[in-house]
A and B are shown apart, each in its own frame.
Chain A
Amino acid sequence: STVVLVFQAPTLKMLQNRDSSSEFRFSIRRGDRVRVGEALGRWHD
């Protein structure tokens, strides 16, 4: 079985600068084993 997660990251900065990308950064790599509750990525407030 497989789970696909699609999400929009918080992008408040985009309101000021439309060319900037999101502050969201993945903290995983391909092939990593992840467990429930572990961070997939983070963003700055």
Chain B
Amino acid sequence: FDEIIVDIATKRKWYPRKILECVIRTLKAQLE
């Protein structure tokens, strides 16, 4: 249970940033 919490919390901390990097790249490519 503890590992699951830490795993989810870690994803919540880092994944938005990673996803954002992809989204920004995609938006830039679309604009170009």
A and B associate in one complex: no
